[in-house]
Amino acid sequence: MGDPAGVGPELCLRLLNRSQKNYTPIVFGDASILKKVSKLLDLPMTSPVVSLGTSVTGPAIIHCPTADLSNIVPGRVQANCGEASVEYCLRAITEMKRATVDGIVTCPINKEAIYNAGYSYPGHTELFAEQFADSKTCMMQYAADIACSFVTTHIGYAEVCDQLTIARIAEVIELTNDALTLIRGTAPKLLVCGLNPHAGENGRFGNGEEELLIVPAVKKVKRQGIDATGPVPADTAFTPQSRERFDGVVCMYHDQGHIPIKMIAFDRAVNVTLGLSAIRTSVDHGTAFDIAWSGKANPGSLFEAVRLAANLSKTGK
Nearest CA-CA partner of 148 in 104, 179, 186: 179
Phi, psi at 6, each rounded to 5°: -105, -155
- Please determine whether the domains at 1-132+276-317 and 135-273 fall in the same fold group of CATH: yes
Per-residue pLDDT at 283: 95
Topology at the third CATH level for domain 1-132+276-317: Isopropylmalate Dehydrogenase (3.40.718)
Residue numbers of the chain with a pLDDT score lower than 50: 317
70 exposure class (CB count in 10 Å sphere: 0-12, 13-18, 19+): exposed
Residue ranges of alpha helices (H) inside the chain are 8-16, 31-41, 79-97, 111-116, 124-131, 157-163, 166-184, 209, 215-223, 240-245, 254-265, 300-315
Sign of the C-alpha dihedral, residues 282, 163, 133, 218? positive
**Which percentage of the chain shows pLDDT scores above 90?**
88
Whether the Cβ atoms of residue 298 and residue 267 lie closer than 8 Å to each other? yes
pLDDT tens-digit series, residues 197-227: 999 998 899 999 999 999 999 999 999 999 9
Mean pLDDT of the chain: 95
Check: CB of residue 150 under 8 Å from CB of residue 261. no
Tell me if residue 111 falls in helix, strand or coil. Answer: helix
Phi-psi region of 238 (alpha: psi -120 to 50; beta: other; left: phi over 0): alpha
Domain ranges of the chain: 1-132+276-317, 135-273
pTM here? 0.90
CATH superfamily of 135-273: Isopropylmalate Dehydrogenase (3.40.718.10)
Predicted pLDDT of residue 62: 97
* Residue 45 CB partners (closer than 8 Å, separation 6+): 13, 16, 34, 35, 38, 61
Per-residue b/e over 122-158, b at no fewer than 16 CB within 10 Å? ebbbbbbbebbeeeebbbbbbbeebbbbbbbbeeeee
